[in-house]
Amino acid sequence: MRSNLSSLFFGLMILVLAGTGCKKDPAVIIDPPDPGPEQYGTPFDQVPATADVVMYEVNPRVFSSTRDLAGIMARLDSIHALGVNVVWLMPIYRTGSDRSVGSPYAVRDYGAIHSDYGTLTDLRQLVDKAHSLGMAVMLDWVANHTAWDHAWISNPGWYAQDANGDIIIPPGTNWQDVAELNYGNSEMRQEMIKAMKYWVLVANVDGYRCDYASGVPADFWAQAIDTLRNIPGRDLLMFAESDDKTLFDAGFDLIFGWPYYGQLWQVFNNGVSAKQLYFSHHNTYSGILEGQEVVRWITNHDQHAWEATPEATFNGTDGALAAFVLASHMGGAPLIYNGQEVSVTQQLPFFESANVTINWNLHPEVKAAYRQIIDYRQQQPALRGGALADYSTADLAIFRRQKGTDEVLVLVNVRDQAVTVDLPAGLVNTSWVDAYQGTAVDLGTTVSLEGYGYWVLEGT
């Protein structure tokens, strides 16, 4: 018995000593990085190359009578029929009430859908249907600021402050409804990236249009985009609301074409020479690499709500269509804003007080014209990356695009009256085919176009 007790005592001492030894060199337990939520659905494998992008912007407040995600989903077939392959949804998140003016860009919760729009299930169904039609879905992301009643406001260090320690609105703005974030705070940056990953995983979205991208440090965008692109199996599109080409270096695929829009406005409204359009295009694309594109448009939610409709801006539907031919054919990725394709003449608000609904039965002939313009762009390689040669005069924008054996000549009258001009030597006595009609066209020494007329010709 003694012998057994001694053995037991000796064994216990060995265990105690072994345990004491472990305390001198404790095992370090490292929590694995948070993988985030599980991936919903199958990552979309038809995200278009940037040169092939045709984007459509949706304003949920005016898009349907129900003003929600279900109302958008119900019209996805119509959007697809235009030739669209990327749908951009304006912000759908829960917005703030403190100091609110009703803006969707005053986000209170990056991880919650606004109750007016529906639920996560509704968003998933919308994305699933878009994918089934071959369209990617891009959410609008507001990274520069939050609403004043966002939960993050309890961490003052996450926000920019003045000399008195008071949180400020975005500098240089009058945006009283939002608080400027502090990108010097690493914790806030990580939470922002986590929020961006969330929707890619739980809703299977295909990228982001990033609001006021130039207000956020480029090194944050590089960090965020790198993280998003490392989500397994994902092909994402990242679109910066900025014309700053250095944002391409941060990983963006697309930037905003503000300069070209500004030049279009000057040409159509102030009689500026059509030659300036080529110079604007050339300046923008100088230094841009393959795979990087500029989004071109004749209207978007800001222009439509705060300035004028494209019909007012470009002096009628004919002028708007002529401007769109230039925006979509000279280069870049074309954007259509909801209602543009049916010539909505009423300006479309996007704040919560919006009480306008687009009448989709308006002007089917205009919708057919937009579809024709887009369809030809999408089937013609020369219009998606072809070399550009300009022959413009003061009143006619004339340019040729060529890629391999594919060749297209585009002529657009930027004036509201008929114009006749002498053709340059390189186009005199050349033969073409009308791209829309399929009929033969033999150019002589001059060309005439009706006011805001356009002619798209294909090489024979």
Strands (E), 85-191: 86-89, 93-95, 107-113, 136-142, 145-147, 178-180
pLDDT of residue 354: 85
Same fold: 50-387 with 390-459? no
Note the Cα 285 to chain centre separation in Å: 18
Specify the DSSP class assigned to residue 167: B
Per-residue pLDDT of the chain (460 residues; tens, 9 = 90+): 434 433 433 443 333 334 444 433 444 455 555 678 999 999 999 999 999 999 999 999 999 999 999 999 999 999 999 999 999 999 999 999 999 999 999 999 999 999 999 999 999 999 999 999 999 999 999 999 999 999 999 999 999 999 999 999 999 999 999 999 999 999 999 999 999 999 999 999 999 999 999 999 999 999 999 999 999 999 999 999 999 999 999 999 999 999 999 999 999 999 999 999 999 999 999 999 999 999 999 999 999 999 999 999 999 999 999 999 999 999 999 999 999 999 999 999 999 988 999 999 999 999 999 999 999 999 999 999 999 999 999 999 999 999 999 999 999 999 999 999 999 999 999 999 999 999 999 999 999 999 999 999 999 9
Residue 90 tokens, joined: 């304006």
Phi and psi torsions of 390, nearest 5°: -105, 135
Widest CA span in the chain: 122
Residue 105 CA to residue 241 CA, distance in Å, equals 13
Helix, strand or coil for residue 341? helix
Q: Compute, in degrees rounded to 10, the torsion defined by CA atoms 213, 154, 184, 232.
A: -60
pLDDT of residue 310: 98
pLDDT of residue 33: 57
> What pTM, to 2 d.p., does this model score?
0.92
Nearest Cα neighbor of 185 from 147, 228, 225, 217 is 217
Show Cβ contacts of residue 326 under 8 Å, excluding neighbours closer than 6 positions.
264, 277, 397, 410, 412, 414
Contact 142, 181 (CB under 8 A): no
Question: In CATH, which of 3.10.450.50, 3.40.50.720, 1.10.357.10, 3.20.20.80 is domain 50-387?
Answer: 3.20.20.80
| Degrees to nearest 5, angle at CA 264 with 260 and 266 | 115
- First-to-last alpha carbon distance for the chain, in angstroms, is 109
Residue 334 tokens, joined: 């074309």
* Per-domain boundaries in the chain: 50-387, 390-459
pLDDT of residue 34: 67
Question: In CATH, which of 2.30.30.100, 3.40.109.10, 3.20.19.10, 2.60.40.1180 is domain 390-459?
Answer: 2.60.40.1180
Other Cβ atoms less than 10 A from the Cβ of 124: the count is 17
Residue 343 CA to residue 317 CA, distance in Å, equals 7
Residue 185 CA to residue 109 CA, distance in Å, equals 19
Strands (E), 156-270: 178-180, 207-211, 237-240, 254-256
The string over 287-324, giving b where at least 16 C-beta atoms fall within 10 Å of a residue's C-beta and e elsewhere, is eeeeebbbbbbbbbbebbbeeebbbebbbbbbbbbbbb
